[in-house]
Amino acid sequence: ETGVTQTPRHLVMGMTNKKSLKCEQHLGHNAMYWYKQSAKKPLELMFVYSLEERVENNSVPSRFSPECPNSSHLFLHLHTLQPEDSALYLCASSPEPSGTYNEQFFGPGTRLTVL
Amino acid sequence: EDQVTQSPEALRLQEGESSSLNCSYTVSGLRGLFWYRQDPGKGPEFLFTLYSAGEEKEKERLKATLTKKESFLHITAPKPEDSATYLCAVQEKGAQKLVFGQGTRLTINP
């Protein structure tokens, strides 16, 4: 595996379900990110982790819960979502979050549909 | 607050017809400006980083330039495979996050 991988690629869930999105980066980077991409809107940053420590939470509802067990893995735990949470969820990584080199490399995304 | 505005929202060109996409930004102290390409149903693909006014970078038919207020992505003699949404993002000095524009959806007709 190379780059940034995400599973599952597609997810349909009911409002009462609990599910998790997984991201893995194979680039040796120190920072990882969750973004939400909705139709007709710019990418919205949700969370930033640097060396497994959360450094930014962009006012995201508590029904989204991130977890970063190590610098290569990132999870987004979902529970009691709303239909408006349906979107493409993208994971990204970068060498470091705020240093000289912050090119972020994205995974393919998880297309989430909440019924 | 940092703002990024891309224009046009959509652009349709004939194969071989060169043009430019615009990214205007407002940020207090630019760390970097980033261009990405995104194909439908896929994650953004990194293209360029520009750090200072006057800087230019090229990759195949694409050339990115930067001024103090905006960046241009010039596409020379495009091909149908260049069709995609092009995203611009800025990072403020000392900040962790990138602020993205809404993108320009580019279609190249054969």
What is the reported pLDDT for A99?
59
Residue A50 distance to chain B (closest CA, Å)? 9
Q: Which amino acid is at B30?
A: L
Q: A48: which strand partners?
A: A33, A56
pLDDT digits (tens, 9 = 90+) for B65-102: 999 999 999 999 999 999 999 999 999 888 778 899 99
pLDDT of amino acid A56: 72
Could you state, in chain order, the average pLDDT of each consecutive group of 10 residues for chain A (115 residues)? Answer: 91 92 95 92 90 78 93 95 95 78 89 94
Distance of CA A52 to the CA centre of its chain: 14
**Cβ–Cβ under 8 Å, residues B75 and B19:** yes
3-state secondary structure of B90: strand
pLDDT of residue A96: 76
Report yes or no: A55 at the B interface, CB cutoff 8 Å: yes
Strand partners, B19: B75
Q: Which among B94, B98, B102 has the least Cβ separation from residue A104?
A: B98
Of B62, B83, B60, B81, the closest CA to residue B71 belongs to B62
Q: What is the pLDDT of residue B98?
A: 87
The pLDDT value recorded for residue B57 is 96
Which residue in B43, B45, B91 is closest to A102 by CB distance? B91
pLDDT, tens digit, 9 for 90 and up, residues B26-66: 988 898 999 999 999 899 999 999 999 999 999 999 999 99
Flag whether residue A90 sits within 8 Å of chain B, measured between CB atoms.
yes
Quick one: DSSP state of residue B80? G
Instruction: Give the per-residue pLDDT at B92.
Output: 87
